[in-house]
């Protein structure tokens, strides 16, 4: 990927969202642990049923009512980052519903922490598992939307004026989420983002950003290929 100024601007935006956006959401999860949980693993254990239904849409053996979600919020691969599933575990809550899903084999992973989650899973966790006030929920959703919109600019150049606007918008969201942290941590976040905007990125940061861009472009190609294959099969049949 060429590192013209416009491409360099794009990489800086990727770093801002994926590095600092992820950091601030991890700190947000950590701040919630002080409200009744000793470890992140304890929080996952207490939220096991809700986590399962972020992916599974069917009623399970622990459900007292039918789930209302129509779409999975996370993939099974993401769920597996948090929970192990012993498929050989016998159901301890059988009933007469043949279509029910047995979740007795799901158990929180040992020694798991918020550091094991990416920005997608972190935002989903904060929006669906940990109760947030409306202001914080809106900020997290905005950060997620900025990330999504940014990756749809992958093939585009980002002129300096547009870069400055986008950078300030994203940095503002991150700063607002970080306002609830202790003063030192908040100042650290803010100063690091100021440095990112005005200074050169480290080789490691650039490498990670370029790798994220490459992976996203490949996923778009694969998804387009799958869609075209589906259309072709439909036309043929």
Residues 126-153: tens digit of each pLDDT: 999 988 899 999 999 999 999 988 877 7
Sign of CA dihedral 49, 131, 22, 30: negative
Q: What is the pLDDT of residue 232?
A: 32
Contact between 201 and 15 under an 8 Å Cβ cutoff? The reply is: yes
pLDDT band at 231 (very low <50, low <70, confident <90, very high): very low
Contact between 53 and 73 under an 8 Å Cβ cutoff? The reply is: no
The DSSP call for residue 208 is: H
Report the chain's mean pLDDT, rounded to a whole number: 84
- Alpha-carbon dihedral of residues 128, 113, 147, 169, nearest 10 degrees? 90
Among residues 221, 226, 225, 229, the alpha carbon closest in space to that of 155 is found at 221
pLDDT higher than 60, residue 228: no
Which residues 6+ apart lie within 8 Å of 55 measured at CB? 72, 73, 74, 75, 76, 78, 79
pLDDT band at 189 (very low <50, low <70, confident <90, very high): confident
Contact between 76 and 117 under an 8 Å Cβ cutoff? The reply is: no
- pLDDT higher at 113 or 226: 113
Strand (E) positions, the chain?
Answer: 83-85, 106-108
Residue ranges of alpha helices (H) inside 16-159 are 22-33, 40-46, 48-55, 76-79, 119-128, 134-151
Q: What is the biggest distance separating any 2 CA atoms in the chain, rounded to whole angstroms?
A: 64
Could you count the other beta carbons within 10 Å of the beta carbon of residue 12?
22
Q: What is the pLDDT of residue 155?
A: 59
pLDDT higher than 80, residue 226: no
Q: What is the pLDDT of residue 68?
A: 78
- Write down the pTM of the prediction: 0.82
- Helices 22-33 + 160-178 axis angle, to 10: 10
């Amino acid at each position: 990927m060429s590192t013209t100024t416009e491409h360099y601007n794009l990489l800086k935006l990727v770093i801002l969202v994926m590095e600092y956006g992820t950091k601030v959401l991890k700190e947000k999860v950590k701040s919630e642990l002080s409200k009744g949980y000793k470890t992140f693993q304890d929080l996952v254990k207490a939220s096991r049923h809700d986590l399962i239904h972020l992916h599974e849409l069917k009623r399970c053996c622990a459900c007292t009512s039918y789930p209302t979600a129509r779409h999975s919020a996370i993939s099974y691969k993401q769920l597996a980052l948090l929970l192990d599933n012993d498929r050989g575990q016998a159901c301890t809550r059988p009933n007469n519903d043949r279509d029910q899903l047995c979740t007795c084999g799901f158990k929180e992973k040992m020694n798991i922490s918020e550091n094991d989650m990416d920005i997608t899973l972190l935002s989903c966790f904060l929006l669906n598992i940990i109760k947030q006030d409306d202001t914080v929920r809106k900020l997290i959703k905005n950060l997620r939307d900025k990330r999504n919109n940014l990756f749809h600019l992958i093939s585009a150049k980002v002129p300096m004026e547009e870069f400055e606007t986008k950078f300030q918008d994203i940095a503002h969201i991150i700063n607002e989420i970080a306002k609830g942290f202790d003063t030192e941590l908040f100042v650290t976040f803010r100063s690091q983002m100021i440095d990112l905007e005005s200074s050169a990125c480290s080789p490691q940061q650039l490498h990670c950003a370029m790798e994220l861009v490459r992976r996203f472009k490949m996923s778009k190609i694969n998804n387009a290929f799958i869609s075209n294959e589906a259309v072709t099969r439909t036309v043929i049949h």
